């Protein structure tokens, strides 16, 4: 971290500032230029509040030169992390996986959708049993019965499942029931108690970007999970809120290569929530694949008009199948060895 000192600061004030920093266990490096004085603060500066320093009279500006996320940082862990999702399915480091299924678990149609997405090449079944809805009057999910249906489908098809956990008090239930992957939804991306609770388990966590979350906030959310011991974190770009109203969210495709640069964790794209409309989902899925995502999460429903949630963005199984064939071709193109 560096602190840029105002030109008006006196030698006494500068000395006092340096002593104040050093009294907190940091080393300093003062560099006096013609136009400005810079104090380098050396040590684990994650505990320093940059705003507190900036509030001091003699400080012009404070900048972090190293990121506050350590465990998720590629600098300290250059190789890609590969997460074992169960049932022999690996994600990251060249292993590309597609998670597909309905937004909500609704009943007997789950197994029908699951069979179809598996036949098209999906390797992880998704479905929400506990739903984070903007309105308390909207459908809230089947709860534990939904988990039963997911587990039955998982057993029949020998494929892992990913489903959202909303409440820290439910985490143990998910672990006891053997849920393969816990999803933290966009609305809970900064629910720090929930992040810490899933961090105490070893179950893979699919961590979605917050509704208006920055890339750094997503990485800090991952850091919360990892700092409790669970290193099996998969990040998900699912679109962010912008001024644009033609789509449900704005798909930040940039985030995929940016995250690959900053972190070793696998990154998946969710073109369903990113766009909000079935007619755009395929194209966004192609873009995420081409951008180097380690996987995709796509909502598929056998009868979108009847879906209990997010029918407007669901792909029919036939459209999903077509998308999967093209996604395989895009993967071939971007991983081809051109000599």
Note the residues at the interface with ligand PEP (CB under 6 A): 103, 128, 132, 185-187, 208, 238, 273
For ligand PEP, give the closer residue by CB, 138 or 334. Answer: 138
- Smallest gap from Cβ 213 to ligand PEP, in A, equals 11
Q: Which of 164, 223, 294, 310 binds Mn ion (CB under 5 A)?
A: 310
- Smallest gap from Cβ 236 to Mn ion, in A, equals 12
For Mn ion, give the closer residue by CB, 258 or 316. Answer: 316
For ligand PEP, give the closer residue by CB, 53 or 166. Answer: 166
Q: Return the residue nearest ligand PEP (CB atom).
A: 185
d(CA 72, CA 86): 22
**Residue 197 within binding range of Mn ion, rule CB under 5 A:** no
- Smallest gap from Cβ 177 to ligand PEP, in A, equals 19
Mark the segment that binds Mn ion (CB under 5 A) among 119-127, 163-171, 192-200, 308-316.
308-316
**Residue 113 within binding range of Mn ion, rule CB under 5 A:** no
d(CA 213, CA 6): 32
- Smallest gap from Cβ 273 to Mn ion, in A, equals 6
For Mn ion, give the closer residue by CB, 67 or 299. Answer: 299
Task: Residue 132: name its binding partner from Mn ion, ligand PEP, none (Cβ under 5 to 8 Å by kind).
Answer: ligand PEP
Structure tokens at 205: 């966590």
- Cα angle for residues 267, 271, 272 (degrees, 5° grid): 125
For ligand PEP, give the closer residue by CB, 71 or 141. Answer: 141
**Residue 103 within binding range of Mn ion, rule CB under 5 A:** yes
Contact 254, 94 (CB under 8 A): no
Task: Residue 106: name its binding partner from Mn ion, ligand PEP, none (Cβ under 5 to 8 Å by kind).
Answer: none
- Smallest gap from Cβ 189 to ligand PEP, in A, equals 8
d(CA 136, CA 307): 18
For Mn ion, give the closer residue by CB, 73 or 313. Answer: 313
- Give the interface with Mn ion as residue ranges (CB under 5 A): 103, 310
């Amino acid at each position: 971290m560096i602190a840029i000192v105002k030109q008006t600061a006196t030698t006494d004030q500068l000395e006092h500032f340096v002593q104040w920093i050093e009294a907190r266990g940091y080393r300093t490096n003062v560099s006096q230029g013609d136009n400005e004085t810079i104090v380098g603060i050396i040590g684990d500066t994650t505990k320093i509040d940059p705003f507190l320093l900036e509030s001091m009279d003699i400080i012009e500006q404070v900048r972090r030169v190293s990121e506050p996320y350590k465990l998720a940082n590629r600098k300290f862990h250059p190789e890609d992390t590969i997460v074992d999702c169960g049932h022999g399915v690996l994600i990251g480091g060249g292993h590309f996986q597609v998670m597909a299924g309905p937004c909500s678990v609704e009943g007997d149609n789950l197994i029908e959708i699951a069979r179809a997405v598996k036949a098209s090449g999906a390797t992880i079944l998704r479905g929400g049993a506990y739903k984070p809805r903007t309105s308390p009057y909207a459908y809230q999910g089947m709860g534990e019965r939904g988990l039963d249906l997911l587990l039955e489908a998982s057993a029949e098809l020998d494929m892992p499942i990913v489903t959202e956990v909303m409440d820290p008090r439910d985490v143990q239930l998910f672990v006891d029931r053997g849920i393969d992957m816990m999803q933290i939804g966009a609305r809970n991306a900064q629910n720090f108690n929930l992040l810490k609770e899933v961090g105490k388990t070893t179950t893979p966590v699919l961590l979605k970007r917050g509704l208006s979350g920055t890339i750094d906030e997503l990485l800090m959310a991952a850091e919360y999970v990892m700092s409790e011991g669970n290193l099996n974190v998969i990040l998900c770009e699912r679109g962010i809120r912008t001024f644009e109203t033609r789509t449900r969210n704005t798909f930040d495709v940039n985030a995929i290569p940016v995250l690959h640069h900053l972190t070793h964790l696998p990154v998946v794209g969710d073109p369903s929530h990113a766009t909000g409309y079935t007619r755009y989902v395929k194209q966004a899925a192609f873009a995420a694949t081409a951008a180097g995502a380690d996987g995709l999460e796509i909502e598929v429903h056998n009868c979108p008009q009847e879906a209990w949630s997010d029918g407007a963005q669901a792909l029919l199984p036939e459209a999903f199948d077509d998308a999967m064939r093209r996604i395989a071709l895009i993967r071939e193109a971007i991983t081809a060895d051109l000599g």
